[in-house]
Structure 1
């Protein structure tokens, strides 16, 4: 959840000064360098002089250039722009793209300058660029897209009819869509799955735990019976950084996909840190801690220290965790780990973090700015991305480069070059997670993935927990006023919840301290915070 704080006049002045200093940076040549630019009426003029076509390709007869900004992780660069589908689209549409690629390492400072100046490129690609709050608090810089979707974007319009979630997640509090959504291909329903050291289980003659009682017994055996075989009692049943592994609480119905302490029970939003199930989960976690089954450094170590334990060169040290895939974090010991079915709680039920709609839906994947002189052209260009074939080529790479299409219409991912990881190869070849896309559930049936690695492996693991996925709090949006209040409330409340949880897990006392804890949360403004969440939930559910 992006949090926006109001800018002081001093900050705005400093930011404005920086704009001039950036020179030929990402801010340079926004709308002003469009070919044939003729002010804000350029798009309508393009229509009146016959240059713009409402349907088919080319989009324009006389070439138009759009300045398109996208943010890439680290030092990924602009290799994605060589994607053959993007190259062909530029050729066939007559819409030339001037890609402006910024590293995520440099973006925060540049973003502040850009928003303060009000000078933006024509189009922004990818949700890494601007958060919900960035957009909500600067609406005048972005064009409402509803009318463009209606008249210029038949592919997206059809996608919204098939998958209404696209509109729900992209509708801002004023009822308009300022950004374009995506539905990524072949995404799972589940988030992280329980992962256990299978070699340790086999050595001790144990089966994978199916419920919390069995998990306790397995973790106890891991601690006491030297399953790594080095003659030391150095095994760590489970470990995390900065807190306990919160998914350890999921067997008690505690799932928090959005990271805001909200879940949905029987169709109603609920703030779980004051719930009975949270209290019971903390009592169970304290038992694990008291018996030495949770790493005592969980609350104090950082990610580097945790990684060192997970990839300890002499022997595997950690027995149980939750991960996207079992091979994600254990380095040389990856082959010893396997994903297991969701752990059942004391009530006999299984609760899996995830989203029944799938982890496919994204918003803010494309914005057309108020600076853009050719919004209809930009909208028609974006609509080309909303077909199944276009989307998979912008997620994995072009057909013939990263994807093989057979005579029967099936799509298979090709092997990456020797010495290159598949994921890194896809990022090099495509926009990957970023940008407008729509892959329908029906189209997904024609995609063939290797079940032993990458996205295909995750879909296999997904089968272990997808039947138990809880209904998450939806991906709501907040008003500008709510974004002003949220950081004040959540900073203190979240910190108090985390510190109290650490105390109760390590020292106990949840029963004795519960009433005072709830009272303090209420004194800190919990009622106001929950009202913000509930109001946003109601607005979201009312979107049709």
Structure 2
């Protein structure tokens, strides 16, 4: 029986949450102005159609954004953001929430229907949040056409920005971004070069060579500590299907979908997937894959990757090695994708660059001055504005040279480059657009962070497969999807883990296919195919 005090505590916690979020909503409701008697008409706020300032008299916009964990609001110190307030006469009342407890607060906000003027960052509301609450958000097509020349130019140059932002009803409700200096490839093969050198081995090129290297890593004590503690391949069961990449299986967005020959494909029912699982089982059965790969959490993985006494992980798929291997990071190098049985290489990623995002800014129907917000948001869609909102301000994080090139400064001692960028900027969140041909003017440190990733990207970029795109679903489709994906995704994951650890895929394959069909796989593929057709038809 549940303790009565526990029930009271839960009710009290919920009450406090409701009270706090209600207070926040009251503070967020509606734009404010420096003039108490100012009316809500555009003429009374004296908005300029072009140039700066945007408005004659200062007004204040309430802008809600969410940050990861306990990052806080240090990004507000960004000098470009502060100068923008002075230049535009648009003051920002930032409402900064933590992702730790945003889920509960978001539900209360959407239930109440009381929203701030502006939502900034794609972490705030998901596609389904927006599609199921469209009455809270303004269609932006006319505002883009009339007040956002920078964004219009960007969409003309990079049409994918319009494609990813167009909702099923044909309208745009959220603004996109294109992040600067992004790679084409996602996680790539990372191997311990020090181990290879000690054993007199070369980096593996194909699955046969990889198997031999794994065997040597397991049996020949490459870390030299006299123990057989080496783990040839390790990671978490949630790392996706990176181990299956050599067989043409890639899963950039974690939805078990790819695009092959221009058509959406659910790869867990393919012949290539079946053969990949057989290969992975052989590795597991011989102890060449971490025996805890499907049961360990990220803390356990990190403990192995950063084992204090000696490096014990030989190979994995990572974004960059310096982000995960701690003091052993210099032992690891990136290598090209491992060639599969067909002689081809397959790399998860995005052929057009992993830079495009949507839902980075929404204007709510609570806002009295959407024209002002549109003009304000358009200021973010320039090269210099974007790099300062991704890394940090010029003069603080970025050095601008006399030849109009830009160089990132070194972070303070004891701070990683990535952490520093998040402290000093909006980073991944908010509107941005850096022209592709402008990126040659940006110099990044090739030894760490974003610069190192671009160096590593050269190994895999030409082999990047076509992922199933970030399509948009209708409200009706969103009602069906959770039931379908919850059952199907769970069954695919648990079956994959079982087959890799225990085998028997041949004997169980037909029953597996039948159960997926009974769960509604055909309907799931149809929904995703319809969404894909809408996406590709947008011009």
The residue that corresponds to 1:157 in the other structure is 152
Q: Deviations along 1:66-121, whole A, 9 cap, x unmatched?
A: 00111111222111111111111100100111111111112111111110011111
1:90 — aligned with what?
85
> How big is the shift at 1:211?
0.7
Which residue in 2 is equivalent to 1:130? Answer: 125
Runs of 5+ consecutive residues of structure 2 not aligned to the other structure: 1-12
Deviates more, 1:367-376 or 1:442-451: 442-451
2:4 maps to which residue?
none
Is the 8 Å Cα contact of residues 19 and 117 (structure 1) preserved in structure 2?
no
1:30 partnered with 2:29:
yes
What is the distance in 2 between the residues matched to 1:432 and 1:79?
12
Q: Which stretch of structure 1 is more off in the superposition, 455-464 or 22-31?
A: 22-31
Q: Runs of 4 or more off by more than 6 Å in structure 1?
A: 14-17
Q: CA deviation at 1:15?
A: 8.9
In structure 1, the partner of 2:7 is: none
TM-score normalised over the length of structure 1: 0.94
Q: Deviations over 1:504-533 (max 9, x none)?
A: 111211112111111111011110111111
Moved more, 295-304 or 204-213: 295-304
Residues 442-488 of structure 1 show CA distances to partners (whole Å, capped at 9, x for unaligned) of: 11111111111111110000000000000111110111111111111
Distance, in Å, in 1 between the alignment partners of 2:18 and 2:494 is: 41
On the 8 A contact 1:27/1:120 being kept in 2, the answer is no
Aligned residue among 337, 341, 350 for 1:355: 350
Match of 2:8 in 1: none
2:452 equivalent in structure 1: 457
**Closer/same/farther in 2, CA of residues 21 and 354 from structure 1, 3 Å limit:** closer
**Aligned equivalent of 1:290:** 285
CA drift of 1:263 comes to: 0.2
1:244–1:299: 8 Å Cα contact kept in structure 2? no
Corresponding residue for 2:514?
Answer: 519
Pairing 1:317-332 to 2, within 5 Å after superposition: 317-332=312-327
Asked if 1:111 corresponds to 2:106, the answer is yes
User: 310, 321, 326: which one pairs with 1:315?
Assistant: 310
**In structure 1, which of residues 233, 243, 249 is the aligned counterpart of residue 244 of structure 2?**
249
Aligned length: 527
Q: Which moved more, 1:297-306 or 1:172-181?
A: 297-306
**Mapping 1:362-381, distance limit 5 Å:** 362-381=357-376
Indicate if the aligned counterparts of 2:17 and 2:105 stay in contact, CA closer than 8 A.
no
Q: Please list the CA deviations of residues 361-394 of structure 1 after superposition, one character each: whole Å capped at 9, or x if unmatched.
A: 0100001001001100000000000000100011
Provide the rounded CA distance (Å) in 1 between the counterparts of 2:467 and 2:94.
36
Matched, 1:145 2:144: no
Which residue of structure 2 aligns with residue 494 of structure 1? 489
**Cα distance between partner residues in 2 of 1:183 and 1:413:** 19
Stretch moving more, 57-66 or 15-24: 15-24
Deviations 1:152-209 (A, max 9, x none): 0000000000000100111111111100000000000000110011111000000001
